[in-house]
Amino acid sequence: MAQKLAKKTIDIRAKLKVTPESLEAQIDEYLKDLEAIPYDKHRLIIDALRTYYLPLVRENQGASPERLRQSLVDANRSWQVHFRYLQQRLGIDLTQSASPSGPSTSTSILQPEIKPEDELEEGEYIHIFD
């Protein structure tokens, strides 16, 4: 009889220190509200990270141009599905009219500063992955 090999797993944990009134703390509160979120918070987080960063992960891994292109196609498809969900959930259809402020014309994308844990200031930690 063949014995099944146990799959090796790793734990992924993230901890951020933020002020209670920050957007990050508000997102954390939303993710804790089991009645508000459409499915498990860990899946929500991983799906968002996959959509945003998987093409860059593939590039970092030295993926072929074809695989990079497919990663972009998949990320775009995921974003489009989520965007349609947001419009339906919020009852706002942006395909029919432009937003009052119009599309962003900024050419720079600001990324939040991530500091090592030993450089964080006083505040509250939020546990993204428990």
Closest to 76 (Cα-Cα) out of 94, 101, 50, 38 = 50
pLDDT score at 25? 92
Q: How many domains does the chain have?
A: 1
Q: Is residue 50 part of a domain?
A: yes
pTM value surpassing 0.75? no
Q: Is residue 28 part of a domain?
A: yes
11, pLDDT greater than 50: yes
Q: Is residue 56 part of a domain?
A: yes
Map residue 80 onto helix, strand or coil: helix
Average pLDDT over residues 87-101: 77
Q: Is residue 102 part of a domain?
A: no
Average pLDDT over residues 50-70: 96
87, pLDDT greater than 90: yes
DSSP state of 72: H
User: How open is the CA angle 112-114-115, to the nearest 5 degrees?
Assistant: 145
Q: Is residue 51 part of a domain?
A: yes
110, pLDDT greater than 70: no
> What residues make up the domain containing 24?
15-92+123-127
Q: Is residue 62 part of a domain?
A: yes
Map residue 125 onto helix, strand or coil: strand
Q: Is residue 74 part of a domain?
A: yes
User: pLDDT-derived band of residue 123, with 50, 70 and 90 as boundaries?
Assistant: low
Q: What is the pLDDT of residues 22-52, one digit of tens each?
A: 999 999 999 999 888 888 888 999 999 999 9
Q: Is residue 25 part of a domain?
A: yes
Work out the percent of the chain whose per-residue pLDDT is above 90: 47
53, pLDDT greater than 90: yes
